[in-house]
Amino acid sequence: MPASRATRQAWVVWITAVVVYLFAVFHRSSLGVAGLAAADRFGVGPAALSTFTVLQVFVYAAMQVPTGLLVDRFGPRKLLAAAAVFMGLGQVLFAVADSYPLGLVARAVLGLGDAMTWISVLRLIGGHFPARQYAVVMSLSAMIGSAGNLAATVPLTLALHNAGWTLTFLVAGAATAAYAMIAATRLRDLPRGVPAPVVERVTPREVVRSIASSWRTPGTRLGFWVHFSTMVAPTTLGLLWGVPYLVQAQGLSVETAGSVLSLLVIGGLIFSPMVGTLISRNPELRVPLAAAYLVTSGVLWTLLLALPGRIPLWLLVIAFVLFALGGPASSVGFALAKDYNPNRIVSTATGVVNVGGFVATTIAALAVGVLLGLADSLGEQNAFRVAFLAILAVQALGTWRVAIWWRRARAIVLHAAARGEEVPVRLRRRRWDDVIEPVAA
């Protein structure tokens, strides 16, 4: 168990680990400003371009539960070192790729490495920091990871313009792979003096049982849909379609578009510690905060898609700043997974929750690419209006499911509290709670 307060060693381990996550966010987000250059380099249209992001995110999502099992089996130190190697190799391969199939392979390898980072970082936080600091340190991790996202906006735009595609991505990939040695030597799975847990061999049937058990928990299901709905807008814009939308539909220069896109990151840097502190001190506000973001985001999307002509720059700035709150709000899902699941399946539940946002991004990014191709004859502005309906639709689906599982999770907690059992968070019964049965159907 971690000490009652964080030690110096805990902070050293955390900083070492979070740098790997910083690299991961940079590589994950690099197509956000390089998308137009990638379309020219590989000679592809919108649907094929979206496949780069879809494949990368699909690999990431598909690896979340296996990653949780690998962390349980081998420990976060080995997983983070392996992640740095895979991400470095993937980006080096992307730097030299001169064909579309090879570019897809590169993004898949990168997605494999990226998938190993976040759950490993969360496991290290849980192992080295007291429980009361978990949400705050998690939010700080997301905030520092956002620095990688920030580097993938204006700085990456300038590097691509001055140094070119190959050199820019070659240096980024080599630096990431080299960092694997630091991760392997500086990280510790647990604090000194804490015995390593006995790791039992897990059969495929037990894996399925563990996933099913976490999925049946209303808190996990709620966390999944919170992550699904809050992540879709900032990730779909930040990973691929933000700059093309701002340049082609709104007529901004590539440099200005990169600056607007960086607001997603700057907003995340500002909001992450605020959200982390708020939900740590007031856990009953976790889902209401996510719900407030979803309502605000829905209103903004309606405005962006309904207003005729080009959107005023001031409104784009406001929209991108507020969309940035989706990343910090998504951390609510991980807090729910941790609080509502027994320790033996927390990693599995965290992986299940983490799949949510990236499934949403996969659906939305691919749908935007396909719809852009189908609506090409309408002109770029109207084509993006049609295509971005996909983002709004995916977010609306997630919001509906959040509402359903929030009520069911509340029912479970309220009934447990009424029986005198220990509950993750104290809730005040509302009139609309009375009609909800405590079932996890």
Which residues are within 8 A (CB) of 34 and not within 5 positions of it... i.e. 6 or more apart?
156, 160, 165
Instruction: Yes or no: say if 346 and 337 are a contact pair by the CB < 8 Å rule.
Output: yes
Between CA 375 and CA 370 the distance in angstroms is 9
Residue 1 CA from chain centroid, whole number: 27
Q: What is the pLDDT of residue 216?
A: 83
CA within 13 Å, CB half, 435? 3
Q: Which residues lie below 8 Å from residue 381, measured CB to CB, with a gap of 6+?
A: 249, 250, 309, 310
Residue 64, pLDDT score: 77
Q: What is the DSSP letter of 379?
A: -
Query: 111, 97, 108: which is closest to 41 by C-alpha?
Result: 97
284: number of Cβ within 10 Å: 12
Dihedral sign, Cα of residue 267, residue 272, residue 273, residue 274? positive
pLDDT value of position 362: 86
> Between the CA of residue 262 and those of 24, 146, 150, what are the distances in Å?
17, 10, 6
Cα 107 from Cα 174, distance rounded (Å): 15
Which pair of structure tokens corresponds to residue 384?
A: 């993006």
How far apart are alpha carbons 235 and 271 in whole angstroms? Answer: 16
Residues of the chain with pLDDT under 70: 1-5, 193-204, 343-344, 413-441
What local confidence, expressed as pLDDT, does residue 439 receive?
47
Q: How many angstroms separate the Cα of 148 from the Cα of each of 29, 117, 172, 306? A: 8, 13, 11, 33
pTM of the model: 0.76
